[in-house]
Chains A and B, each alone.
Chain A
């Protein structure tokens, strides 16, 4: 009999899942797995912190649609993974995390580098496993990938004690029939519900398609485009769904929510029908949910039944895969003529004309963050995967970049994990080596995970990272300005850091732009560098604020628009 170690079985099982790359950091308890990894077809990218490894796996999964893999050791290695796991759970990102554990006999005895990993990560994963028998490894790995990738995707963790990895087992491929009686995601929408939805869409006078990350995860962008074209219903794409519908399309209204476009927010508020697909009525979208889209009937399509009715009770609930249900809606629509929506569309055009996203870049003033986003878009022709951290820069990137394709916008939406951009951009670039990956990061975020620059440099991953340096935690400062009487507690970062030196110390190119006229040359210089990562520091305006804005928990009827605009009740 051909016996191999549990660790060898693990690596073989990863190969069987067609894993190309794993992001990780080694350590005592996971050492057995690292040995066979040397001989494996699985590439290993050595992150400098497990949180970085986790976000890299997420960035890879976002960009490719495949399951991202990260590896960490027991104890602190595993606890450092908790943030990316929670992030992936919130944003439905399919990743599999493999953690080493102290030997079985030491488990529960406060051994060196022991943490109760499965307990700690239970609420931060879609599912997790503690392996007690090396013979279970092929099936568990196969199940883990299946659970991570199907239904509502999410993170799955496998905790492997060191003795289990060292023990011998007889290799066998995973069973083809998964034994998961409690896990059967619904794919097809109920035909009667689909018909009801089409009736509502036909008769509505002010309908809105409110679509999000679920459409991207399901690969439903084409079907969505077809539905919008057939029905003539305007579309708003959530932060998680940016790119699932082209911003260049005449029916595109941009992002809804706290920092959404005036048009998207107001169209939702005035709508008589919300067709919500792959969205979860997040509080950043709804504000006060009792005042959200008050006169709208709601069709809610989601693969996760728990999302339906969680915040808003729909008139037509449809549980199913977003792509499949979109196809069903298209089929059910058939050759109905497009209803006359002139009145509604012209109302939307008026809002778009009166309340565009705006900013004021003075030639001799400080660099505006929005200008940087627009310049990167212009110079790259929009042909880039854009990765953001969390905060003001993220909102501006989402607002001002024109997304026309899915999987070209990567950010941390639900958990709002600062420091996401640098490692996620590295993961995306590993997954899409032929594409330009441009991270748009804030200085606060950048300082949280900038150690991963050396990962990119050592691995030859030529990511570009724009650092919007306003020397403050921008969003915190904005809230302190608006809601805390301009008392800037702990939000000012100072100005001693030198990002160019930091970049160069980490084997990257460092570029700096201090004035508006230096912006375009700095971006062009970054694009010309192809032998190492490039960090471009933009010294930007610390006083710039993100608008429109709906204060947290407020009604979507109370949009604060930017300076120079006034709201006239429609």
Chain B
């Protein structure tokens, strides 16, 4: 089962290595990992998708790292998850319009067009990106690069947020 962790860390040399090494040592397979600056100066946000049946122990182990400040598990239904993908598909002149038609549906943008292939950029939730990729496969996917998944928790609304506020 894939789980998404949002890890708020101090932006110090080696912090990525510490986190990655700890996950590896505890036997967790990292599906994707994205690191970038956060809303706070000197702090980074890591979004890590791991394959794990349960995360309690890995969260506690991560917390033992001195540079790790906060760890949140993001549940898919309560968070926004986004990826960006660059994909190069085989698109000789005769098939370009077909590719562009699919791209249009997924709001993908052609970013490079050559004689025999075309590179498309698409951003969105991971499911949408996968669907898009599947539709492109029959044309021949020549190359692709995906960003790691990034995610943020949604603001709680309605009854749940009132309950949270009480707690």
Q: Are B21 and A123 in contact (CB under 8 A)?
A: yes
Query: Which residues of A lie under 8 Å from residue B25 when comparing CB positions?
Result: 123
| CB-CB contacts below 8 Å: B37-63 with A | 56-57, 60-61, 63
- Known contacts A182-B68, A182-B69; is A306 also within 8 Å of B17 by CB? no
Closest to B8 in A: A182
- Known contacts A118-B14, A130-B13; is A306 also within 8 Å of B66 by CB? no
Interface residue count for A (Cβ, 8 Å)? 19
Interface residue count for B (Cβ, 8 Å)? 20
Bound-state CA distance A53–B74 (Å) is: 46
Bound-state CA distance A147–B14 (Å) is: 18
- Known contacts A123-B25, A309-B56, A309-B57; is A181 also within 8 Å of B18 by CB? no
Q: Among A182, A305, A306, A310, point to the contact of B9 (Cβ < 8 A).
A: A182
Closest to A152 in B: B64
Closest to A305 in B: B60
Q: Among A180, A181, A306, point to the contact of B64 (Cβ < 8 A).
A: A306
Query: Which residues of B lie under 8 Å from residue A304 when comparing CB positions?
Result: 64
B67 at the interface (CB under 8 A from A): yes
Q: Are B21 and A122 in contact (CB under 8 A)?
A: yes
Q: Are A122 and B18 in contact (CB under 8 A)?
A: yes
A126 at the interface (CB under 8 A from B): yes
Query: Which residues of A lie under 8 Å from residue B81 when comparing CB positions?
Result: none
Q: Among B13, B18, B57, B67, point to the contact of A306 (Cβ < 8 A).
A: B57
Bound-state CA distance A304–B22 (Å) is: 16
Bound-state CA distance A293–B142 (Å) is: 59
Q: Among B10, B14, B21, point to the contact of A181 (Cβ < 8 A).
A: B10
Closest to B62 in A: A306
Q: Are B69 and A306 in contact (CB under 8 A)?
A: no
Query: Which residues of A lie under 8 Å from residue B67 when comparing CB positions?
Result: 182
Closest to B14 in A: A118
Bound-state CA distance A308–B10 (Å) is: 26
Closest to A130 in B: B13
* Chain B 1-45 near chain A by CB (<8 Å), digits 1 or 0: 000000001100110011001100100000000000000000000
Closest to B25 in A: A123
B156 at the interface (CB under 8 A from A): no
* Chain B 100-127 near chain A by CB (<8 Å), digits 1 or 0: 0000000000000000000000000000
* Chain B 63-103 near chain A by CB (<8 Å), digits 1 or 0: 11111110000000000000000000000000000000000
Separation in Å of the A86 CB from the closest CB of chain B? 13
Closest to A143 in B: B66
Query: Which residues of B lie under 8 Å from residue A147 when comparing CB positions?
Result: 66
Q: Are A130 and B14 in contact (CB under 8 A)?
A: yes
- Known contacts A306-B61, A309-B57; is A182 also within 8 Å of B17 by CB? no
Separation in Å of the A214 CB from the closest CB of chain B? 15
Query: Which residues of A lie under 8 Å from residue B21 when comparing CB positions?
Result: 122-123
Separation in Å of the A416 CB from the closest CB of chain B? 19
Q: Are B66 and A127 in contact (CB under 8 A)?
A: yes
Q: Among A119, A130, A183, A309, point to the contact of B66 (Cβ < 8 A).
A: A183
Q: Are B57 and A180 in contact (CB under 8 A)?
A: no
Separation in Å of the A23 CB from the closest CB of chain B? 25
Query: Which residues of A lie under 8 Å from residue B17 when comparing CB positions?
Result: 119, 122
Q: Are B63 and A305 in contact (CB under 8 A)?
A: yes
Closest to B60 in A: A306
Q: Are A180 and B14 in contact (CB under 8 A)?
A: no
Separation in Å of the B41 CB from the closest CB of chain A? 12
Q: Are B57 and A181 in contact (CB under 8 A)?
A: no
Closest to A156 in B: B66
Closest to B40 in A: A181
Query: Which residues of B lie under 8 Å from residue A181 when comparing CB positions?
Result: 10, 69
Q: Are A306 and B14 in contact (CB under 8 A)?
A: no
Q: Among B14, B61, B66, point to the contact of A182 (Cβ < 8 A).
A: B66
Bound-state CA distance A311–B10 (Å) is: 30
Bound-state CA distance A122–B14 (Å) is: 9
* Chain A 219-240 near chain B by CB (<8 Å), digits 1 or 0: 0000000000000000000000
Bound-state CA distance A127–B60 (Å) is: 16
Bound-state CA distance A123–B17 (Å) is: 11
Bound-state CA distance A310–B26 (Å) is: 12
Bound-state CA distance A308–B63 (Å) is: 13
Query: Which residues of B lie under 8 Å from residue A310 when comparing CB positions?
Result: 57, 60
Bound-state CA distance A299–B10 (Å) is: 34
Bound-state CA distance A180–B12 (Å) is: 12
Bound-state CA distance A130–B18 (Å) is: 13
Separation in Å of the A346 CB from the closest CB of chain B? 40
Separation in Å of the A310 CB from the closest CB of chain B? 6
Closest to A154 in B: B64
| CB-CB contacts below 8 Å: A176-203 with B | 180-183
Bound-state CA distance A308–B17 (Å) is: 25
29 contacts between A and B (CB under 8 A): A119-B17, A122-B14, A122-B17, A122-B18, A122-B21, A123-B21, A123-B25, A126-B64, A126-B66, A127-B65, A127-B66, A130-B13, A130-B14, A132-B13, A147-B66, A182-B9, A182-B10, A182-B63, A182-B65, A182-B67, A182-B68, A305-B60, A305-B63, A306-B57, A306-B60, A306-B61, A306-B63, A306-B64, A310-B57
Q: Beyond the given A118-B14, A310-B57, could you list 8 further A-B residue pairs with CB under 8 A, ordered by the A residue number?
A: A122-B14, A123-B22, A180-B66, A181-B69, A182-B10, A182-B65, A182-B67, A306-B57
Interface set of B (CB-CB < 8 Å, partner A):
9-10, 13-14, 17-18, 21-22, 25, 56-57, 60-61, 63-69
Interface set of A (CB-CB < 8 Å, partner B):
118-119, 122-123, 126-127, 130, 132, 147, 180-183, 304-306, 308-310
The 6 tightest CB contacts between A and B, nearest first, are A306-B60, A182-B69, A127-B66, A183-B66, A181-B69, A182-B68
